[in-house]
Each structure stands twice: as structure tokens, then as C-alpha cells.
Amino acid sequence: MGNAITANDPAIVHHAALDARMVQAVKGLRLLTLTSWPASMQAPFLDSVARGNPRLPQVRYPQHDFSDARRELAAIEAAVDESHPLGAYLRDSVRSWDQAASLLEALGTPAVDHFSSQLFGVPEQPMPGNGPSTREAARHFIQIAQELDHELLAPEETVPVSATALQLQLQADLDDFFDGRVISVELDAGLIAKAAAGATRIRLRSGACFSAYDRAQLFHHEALVHSLTALNGREQVLLPSLGLSSPRITATQEGLATFAEQITGSIDIQRLKRVSLRIEAIAMARDGADFIQVFQYFRDAGQTPDESFSSAQRVFRGVPTRGGSAFTKDTVYLRGLVSVHTFFRQMLRDEKLQVCRWLFAGKMTLHDAQALAPLFEAGVLAPPRWLPGWIQRANGLAGVLAFSLFANRIRMDQLGER
């Protein structure tokens, strides 16, 4: 493809029309919303634990039939030209949405584990470059976190921040970044997770306590990656699906968001431990541990009863609570982080840091950013309207990555005492 590409090219017009059809077809496929538990599940379970007689939560999921959506997705796939970058992008997206539909139709059954594994991978999956498995990496971070003394924390880092105070702080941070009200921060008593982000709204659980690190993590991870890529994706007239959270982009999204925490110094070892504990818990559930055992695993790791319930329900979203299956989405965090970090280093080496910026033009995979590069270069796809400061400062980013490239050559096991 040369620079003569225009939005009027027949192949582009054809695939843009298919993309618009796909956006309509998948409107009801809200994977995380439909697999999440109601907040009312928490109190009865914690009461049963307090009484010394924990009872397995019984979650009733509505029955879904997405056959109409799946027929439309199949028709779209049949109409794509797989040799065209947009055709390949649509093919992969359609297949991902179809798997999501299958998962949602199987809610409450062990089959969810099968579809979840296809979409998000499993703990035993190798890290990029045939490295250790995701579970082995998780155990590495858990061990380091346990070895580090909590006294290393500065006193101000241990002072809890209320949800109301964090709402005001984070809202001010965002209004300053956008120079106006683009994303609103709201309190939500019905949220099980401590926070959730959409394109124009970040919700915080009322009554939850946050740390000093949470403010920076929510700003860089949730707002300036998840929300920002959704907002930039909505600017894509040609390819509106770039504004959607397709399941296939989850690993890149979470990897990019966690990388943003890392590159801005916003990630702490306890955060890495929380992510890693979830990966180990997913492996435990798939090996047969039930909800009560997984809940107790989080308690033994130092989480509060509320946090432990929230963590355990993430593992059992959509699957029976008796054990043997899991919702494996949280395995993508570490694998995605390593993938994104490796990708950024490759782009630096190949003098293609511009491709890294295109990752913010919508919700896409690392492969998409490269495959769609000709369309960005030709101006057919819009560049990101908003970018986080750390990726705009190419020199600073290059400095961190260049050091990382060199440091990787140092063999820690061969360092003797001097």
C-alpha cells in the first residue's frame, strides 16, 4: 500500500460499511457487565464467614440468545477481504465477538472457562519470547512482595484516602489534563470493584478506602489509557469499532495501562502483588478450588474481607462457584505488560515510536497498530486526539527503553559480591 490511499478507495469504503454493521451487531455483547455479580452478593457471604459457616454464593445469570448477532457477524466475516488490512482486522474482531457471544450464552456453566481461555489465555501460557509461564511470573512478584518489609512504605503512603476525597482529587487531575470536563468521576455504592472506567465516566465505590498510589494509578491506567483510547476511538469516522472494547484487545489494553503505571512511577509492589494473586487464584480455581477456598487464599495473603470477596468474584465471574473453572481475564495483566514493554523496545530499535502513539488512536492490538500503519500514514485513520504526557515526551520514553534494552543483557545470576 502506498501513500495514495484515500478514504474513497472501494476496498476501504466496503470494509468501513462492514465495520459499521459490526458495531451495531455487538451492541448487546457487554462481556464484563453481563458476567459481573450484583453488589448484594457480598454482605450475605461475609456474614456467613463471620458466623464461622461460610456458604458458597449462588449466582443466577439470565439466559441469553445472541443468535441474531452471531448470524450477522458470520455474514460480515464472509464479506471481508482477508488480504486487506481492514479485512484482516474485521475478521479477527468478528471472531472475538462471536466467542464473547458464546461465553455469554453459557453463563453459569463450566463452558465459560473454555471460551474465556480462548479469549484471554490461561495462567500456564508462556510469556512473550517463550519465557516463564504467566503463573510463574505471578509467583515471582508475590514472593518479592512478601520479602519486602512494609516499613519501606513512607508514612504518607499508608494514610487511607476516602472515596469522596479521591473523587475530588481525581476530578481535578482530569479537568486539568483535558482543560475542561471530559471525563466525570462519580461515586457508586453498587460497585463491587473499587473502581471502573468508561469512555466519559470513572466510578469509585462509595465507602471504599484508597491509597496514595491509587490516585496516580486511576489517572494513568484507567483514565489516560482505558478512557482515552475509547474517546480517541470515537473520533474514528472510518472505523468506529476502534471505540469498542473488543475482547481481543484486552491483553494490549491492560498491558498498555499497566505499562503506563510503570513508566510514570505509579505502580507499587503491592499493586503487582494484587494482580499476581489473581493469576494464582485463577489457576487454583481451574484446579478445583471453590469460591470459599479462593476467598480464604486472598485473606491469607493479607487482603481485607471486602477486598478478598471482590478479588474472588473476579475469578468466578460467569462460572459455577464450586470450583474447576474460572474467568481467566486477569491473566492478561502481566502477559500484556511484558508484551507491550517488548513492543515499545522493538519500535525504539526500529525507529518506529510513532506506531506506539497510534496505539492510543483507539482500542486495538499491538499487531493492529502495525498492520493499520499505512492507513494512519495516509490520514485515512485519524491520529489520537489526546495523548498521555509520557508518550508525547519521546526523548524521555526512549531513555527509559534504551536503558531497559541494555540492562536486559546483564546476567543477575553472574553478579558476584565485590
* 290-349 tens-digit pLDDT: 999 999 999 999 999 999 999 999 999 999 999 999 999 999 999 999 899 889 988 988
In this prediction, residue 12 carries a pLDDT of 95
| 168 assigned to some structural domain | no
Would you say residue 284 lies in a domain?
Answer: yes
Identity of the residue numbered 87: G
Whether 145 shows a pLDDT value over 90: the answer reads no
Average pLDDT (99-113) is 98
Separation of alpha carbons 310 and 295, rounded Å: 9
All three cell numbers of 99:
466467542
How many structural domains compose the chain?
A: 1
With 0-12 / 13-18 / 19 or more C-beta atoms within 10 angstroms meaning exposed / middle / buried, residue 126 is middle
Q: CB atoms < 10 A from the CB of 146, how many?
A: 11
Domain membership flag for residue 40: yes
User: What average pLDDT is seen over the chain?
Assistant: 90
203 strand-pairing partners:
186, 196
Residue 143 lies in a domain: yes
Q: How far apart are the first and last CA of the chain?
A: 56
How many other C-beta atoms can be found within 10 angstroms of the C-beta atom of residue 236?
A: 19
Contact 371, 89 (CB under 8 A): yes
Give residue 27's domain range.
10-148+235-414
**Would 407 be classed as within a structural domain?**
yes
**pLDDT for the residue 209:** 86
* Domain assignment of residue 202, yes or no: no
Residue 119 has pLDDT above 90, yes or no: yes
Is residue 315 assigned to a domain? yes
pLDDT tens figures, 187-236 = 998 887 788 888 999 999 998 888 878 899 999 999 999 999 999 999 99
Residue 157 belongs to a domain: no
